Structure 1
Amino acid sequence: MGIENQDVSMADKILMRKKTRSDMLKVKMLKGMWLAMIILAASCGKSGSDGSEEPEKPVEETLKTIKAGQTIKVMTYNIHHANPPAQANVIDMAAIAAVINAEKPDFVALQEVDKNTKRSGVSLNQAQDLATRTKMTMFFSRSIDYDGGEYGVAVLSRYEITDKTRYALPLAQGSNGELRSVAMISVATEGGTGKFYFASTHLEVSDNASRLAQVNELLRINSGIQSPFVLAGDFNAVPGSESITTLQQGLTAGCISGCPLTSPAVSPARTIDYIFLNQHASSAFSVQSYRTASEALASDHRAVVAELKFK
């Protein structure tokens, strides 16, 4: 009996030890789980200021539809391939982006845009670079092949682009002028046709016959659009000229009470950059303001900005 009792006692002690170890393990596991939960909860509120992880970034709402009562801001800007006129052989994308970001436009018509040229950088797509810097989407239209890459016009949009179209513009017969093009996009709107068209162009600078041919092609393009259409760009023609008078047979300049001087940027002496509205746009939108941006060093043109309220 004594030996049996001793065996039982020893067995109990062994069982107790195992139970104690088991309990201790359970306690340790519970503590570990609790600690992990505390760490996880704390990490959810981290700002990332210690450099250990990226801070949470706000989700930006994608603008999809221009709604009744909204005011949109449109801009046209000849960017001189991002070369500040006072700085030879310098490409300053940040300076151009700063002009755009200061205005916070919804749509931008860009002219003199390089894509992968030796002049600006074979790996630099200027329209895409500006889209990234301004958090917009873009559409580029090649006008000519240039310096190992392409050169043309582009559009930036803060709204989701539903359609993209490139149009080539003609030259007069026998002209040796530079080929030009149009970059056109459309976005959704409430009511009516449900579309808003926006385009960028840059017309011939020295050959009046070619510029008139291009104006007539723009009027032909407009005649096929049964929706609000805003055409913006560098038209290389002053108010009252044959080119502008002809264009106004189908489109109206937003600057109804006088168009501001746009070129050269430092001391503007001529108006050659405009924002035009077709008949449908004039009916659907009211022009709230029309002016030039004050910045004068990033390019050789002033940017033109208009605010349009959707009725």
Structure 2
Amino acid sequence: MKLVTYNTQYGVGRDGRYDLGRIAAAIEGADIIALQEVTRNFMRNNMADMVEGLARLLPDYFHVYGVAMDIDFGTVGDDGKPANKRLQFGNMVLSRWPIVASRNLLLPRSRRLSRGNLQRSALEALVMAPSGALRVYSVHLDHVNLEERIAQIRHLKERVYAYPMEGGAISGAVEYGFPELPSPEEFVLMGDFNMVPGSPEHLVMAGAPDPVEGAQIVAHHPVDAYALAGGVPDGSVSWTDATHPEKSRLIDYAFVQAGLAASVRSIRIDKDAQGSDHQPVWLELA
């Protein structure tokens, strides 16, 4: 199974050009795709509907979209009536196999006044893969404040690990004539975490290594796939600052539930993709 995560930066590459075809080409061949910074009616990409565009370019995939930030400043049409063109910013999951349920998990945030602070979220998708049901999360954390990222990670982990007890989007579905959905423990968290390896928030996510014995795989922490199957070379980056290249860093990740750690075959960063200021990160599971 091949999974890929890609922060699309509204479909705008480092050349300043909006080209959704480049995004679609970069993720071609994946079985499950997690995307971040997917927008509708955003001025930075000429008000494009990226959800419609990606669905059209990738017609063989099931998809779900989770809106994190949703605003409308009261625009009206030529007829003077409400245009209902909402600026939406969020995450998307696409899958070759049915996505039978999803939830959009809004992450905690503060009222920041010195810098813009968009509502962030993690989009949960229950995928019916041939090997069994799998939960996949497309995650996007705050990019400015460490304290906020830590709060978001704690909340995300709480929601992810509560899933088997809650039953996801619905339980007792027989009352409505639906089959009962599976509640798998297995999950993959993919996306733009805006943190670097070994940072305080990374330790909150994956656990602090023992000073003598090193990192351990435990049931209550997701496992960083970079630590498995050889990882990626030192100095690898997944986000590039074109103005200040020295600020480029590794901030896009895939984390797996502990029971899936042995299934991680490889993880790699696609250095050639040009559709965003981020690079796609590919994960292969046995």
Deviates more, 1:227-236 or 1:286-295: 286-295
Q: Does 2:263 match 1:263?
A: no
Q: Which residue of 1 aligns with 2:147?
A: 209
Could you tell me which runs of 5 or more consecutive residues in structure 2 were left unpaired when the two chains were aligned: 73-85, 165-184, 208-220
Q: Counterparts of 2:241 and 2:42 in 1: how far apart (Å)?
A: 25
Q: 1:280: Cα distance to partner?
A: 3.3
Q: Which residue of 2 aligns with 1:179?
A: 119
Q: Does 2:27 match 1:100?
A: yes
**TM-score of the superposition, structure 2-length normalised?**
0.73
Against the structure 1 CA distance between its residues 155 and 190, is the aligned structure 2 distance closer, same or farther, given a 3 Å change threshold? closer
Q: 1:169: Cα distance to partner?
A: 0.2
**How well do the aligned residues superpose, as a CA RMSD in angstroms?**
2.2
Q: Which residue of 1 aligns with 2:188?
A: 230
Q: Counterparts of 1:178 and 1:114 in 2: how far apart (Å)?
A: 13
Deviations 1:36-73 (A, max 9, x none): xxxxxxxxxxxxxxxxxxxxxxxxxxxxxxxxxxxx10
Q: Does 2:267 match 1:290?
A: yes
Could you tell me which runs of 5 or more consecutive residues in structure 1 were left unpaired when the two chains were aligned: 1-71
Deviations 1:233-282 (A, max 9, x none): 00000000011110013111111144442111876941100011012333
Asked if 1 retains the 8 angstrom alpha-carbon contact of 2:26 and 2:273, the reply is no
Asked if 2 retains the 8 angstrom alpha-carbon contact of 1:196 and 1:229, the reply is yes
Against the structure 1 CA distance between its residues 190 and 302, is the aligned structure 2 distance closer, same or farther, given a 3 Å change threshold? closer
- Which is bigger in relative contact order (C-alpha 8 A, separation at least 6)? 2
Q: Which residue of 2 aligns with 1:23?
A: none
Against the structure 1 CA distance between its residues 189 and 119, is the aligned structure 2 distance closer, same or farther, given a 3 Å change threshold? closer
Q: Could you say which structure has the higher helix fraction? A: 1
Structure 1 or 2, whichever has the larger Rg, is 1
**TM-score of the superposition, structure 1-length normalised?**
0.68
Q: 1:157: Cα distance to partner?
A: 1.0
Q: Counterparts of 1:159 and 1:296 in 2: how far apart (Å)?
A: 25
Q: Counterparts of 2:97 and 2:57 in 1: how far apart (Å)?
A: 16
Q: Does 2:42 match 1:117?
A: yes
**How many residues in Structure 1 have an aligned counterpart in Structure 2?**
228
Q: Does 2:75 match 1:151?
A: no
**Residues 232-247 of structure 1: pairs in structure 2 closer than 5 A:** 232-247=190-205
Against the structure 1 CA distance between its residues 190 and 74, is the aligned structure 2 distance closer, same or farther, given a 3 Å change threshold? closer
Deviations 1:202-241 (A, max 9, x none): 1011111111110001110121134210000000000000
Deviations 1:177-210 (A, max 9, x none): 321011110122568xx52000101101111111
